[in-house]
């Protein structure tokens, strides 16, 4: 059996998870890293979010080496929280408890694989998963949307809410119905233009428009987060091209007129499409 020091320097491939756990324990131990020793579950929230998004970025870029690195950073956050939890005086748990709970959950929620459920398609699997989850959490008699998407960013939560209510039939019969609703919400946003920006109706109507747009994404099988990220990237590419065009003309962004920017923008669009 390896000592802690030997495990920290272990290069055996199948024991690298044990090695990471040992390293995390050493970092938090007396004589370890001062920064790591100061961290709490709360202080690490921003790290968990940041590492998750950086991992997502690597996945979308199909950058396999970077993806491996970023998945490691996400794993670090799990190991860090597990180490903190193991140190707690009350309700302590460690990485093995986390893995055990996960494994039990996966077995329970896949009775079509590990038991005798006859579900054999994706839609049935998702419906079964949701029913099992509600039963496990004893919320069968609670509001259907209780805790739905809790803690998610607003865009992702909107997608999760609309997807869930659609499962019980609360949905438009076709895409055209959503488009009509988006037009209706756009008109209501336009009606708020005379209002002050601080008027609560302005935010409310813009929120309704965003929510309906998320609904259309869901109906078309598009992840709104992915779609918006792609739109961000496209805008960034085109604006960078706009900036270069102006710079080649000896014009800075600060000195460019609206007409010059629009001309450079249209040129960027044409170049990208060609």
For 100-110, the pLDDT digits (tens) are: 999 999 999 99
Q: Is the same domain home to 124 and 91?
A: no
Q: Is the same domain home to 34 and 95?
A: yes
**Spatial separation of the C-alpha atoms in residues 110 and 106, rounded to whole Å:** 6
Q: Is the same domain home to 215 and 264?
A: no
**Spatial separation of the C-alpha atoms in residues 162 and 122, rounded to whole Å:** 18
For 38-90, the pLDDT digits (tens) are: 999 999 999 998 999 899 889 988 999 999 999 999 999 999 999 999 999 99
For 208-264, the pLDDT digits (tens) are: 999 999 999 999 999 998 899 899 999 999 999 999 999 999 999 999 999 999 999
Residue that terminates a domain, selected from 222, 238, 255: 222
Which residue segment(s) compose the domain that 261 sits in?
226-273
CATH code for the domain in which residue 181 is found? 1.10.287.1080
Q: Is the same domain home to 162 and 92?
A: no
Q: Is the same domain home to 96 and 19?
A: yes
pTM: 0.69
Q: Is the same domain home to 161 and 206?
A: yes
Q: Is the same domain home to 68 and 92?
A: yes
Q: Is the same domain home to 19 and 88?
A: yes
Q: Is the same domain home to 93 and 119?
A: no
How many distinct structural domains can be found in the chain?
4
Cβ-count burial 52-67 (b if 16+ within 10 Å, e if not): eebbbebeeeeeeeeb
């Amino acid at each position: 059996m390896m000592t802690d020091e030997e495990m920290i320097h272990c290069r055996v491939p199948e024991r690298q998870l044990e090695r990471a756990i040992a390293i995390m324990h050493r970092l938090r131990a007396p004589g370890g890293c001062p920064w790591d020793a100061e961290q709490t579950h709360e202080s690490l929230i921003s790290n968990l979010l940041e590492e998750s998004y950086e991992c997502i970025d690597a996945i979308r870029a199909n950058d396999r080496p970077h993806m491996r690195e970023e998945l490691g950073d996400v794993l670090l956050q799990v190991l860090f929280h597990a180490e903190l939890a193991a140190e707690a005086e009350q309700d302590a748990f460690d990485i093995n408890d986390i893995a055990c709970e996960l494994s039990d959950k996966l077995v329970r929620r896949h009775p079509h694989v590990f038991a005798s459920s006859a579900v054999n398609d994706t839609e049935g699997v998702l419906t079964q998963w949701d029913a099992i989850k509600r039963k496990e959490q004893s919320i069968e008699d609670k509001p259907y949307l209780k805790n739905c998407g809790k803690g998610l960013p607003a865009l992702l939560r909107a997608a999760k809410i609309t997807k869930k209510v659609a499962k019980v039939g609360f949905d438009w019969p076709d895409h055209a119905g959503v488009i009509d609703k988006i037009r209706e919400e756009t008109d209501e946003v336009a009606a708020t233009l005379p209002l002050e920006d601080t008027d609560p109706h302005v935010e409310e109507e813009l929120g309704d428009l965003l929510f309906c747009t998320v609904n259309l994404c869901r109906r078309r099988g598009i992840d709104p987060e992915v779609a918006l990220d792609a739109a961000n990237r496209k805008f960034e590419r085109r604006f960078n091209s706009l900036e270069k065009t102006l710079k080649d003309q000896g014009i800075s962004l600060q000195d460019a007129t609206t007409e010059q920017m629009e001309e450079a923008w249209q040129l960027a669009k044409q170049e990208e499409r060609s």
